[in-house]
Structures are given as C-alpha cells and as structure tokens.
C-alpha cells in the first residue's frame, strides 16, 4: 500500500502492543485468519466478493481460507 489508512496504522500498533504482552503467540497468523473468516462471512460466503474486499485474487483467497479452516 502506498498510503496506509489511519485506522490500519493504529491497528498495527495495537497488534504489536499485544505481541509484546504475549511473546511467542502467532498474532499475525491469527489476525490474518480472522480477516479471512470475517471477509468470507460479510460477503455471504462468496469467495470472489471476499477476495475483492481483501485485495486478493479469488484463487489466493480460496487457498488461504482452506489453510485456516
């Protein structure tokens, strides 16, 4: 991304704060899993719509979603 939305910068900071409190917990993987699952739910479980929401191809979204389910 060329310019990060302000909320994204804040979220990243909070994720790092949590990482400092919980060393060794795979927070990035957990955050990605949650993004995939929520995008899937919000899109009515339509992979193409969920992929578009996250800026992924449908194939990449589907592969990532299968990996976390």
The three-state DSSP-derived secondary structure of the chain is CCCCCHHHHHHHHHHHHHHHHCCCCCHHHHHHHHHHHHHHHHCCCCHHHHHHHHCCCHHHHHHHHHHHC
pTM for this structure?
0.78
The predicted pLDDT at position 26 comes to 87
How far is residue 2's CA from residue 12's CA, in Å, rounded to a whole number? 16
Contact (CB, 8 A) for 36 and 65: yes
| Residuewise pLDDT in 10s, the chain (69 residues) | 566 677 888 888 988 898 899 888 888 888 899 999 999 999 999 999 999 999 999 999 999 999 998
């Amino acid at each position: 991304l060329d310019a990060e939305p302000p909320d994204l910068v804040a979220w990243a900071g909070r994720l790092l704060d949590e990482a400092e409190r919980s060393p060794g917990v795979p927070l990035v993987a957990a955050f990605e899993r949650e993004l995939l699952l929520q995008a899937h739910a919000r899109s009515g479980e339509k992979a193409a719509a969920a992929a578009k929401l996250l800026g992924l191809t449908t194939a990449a979204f589907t592969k990532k979603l299968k990996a976390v389910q």
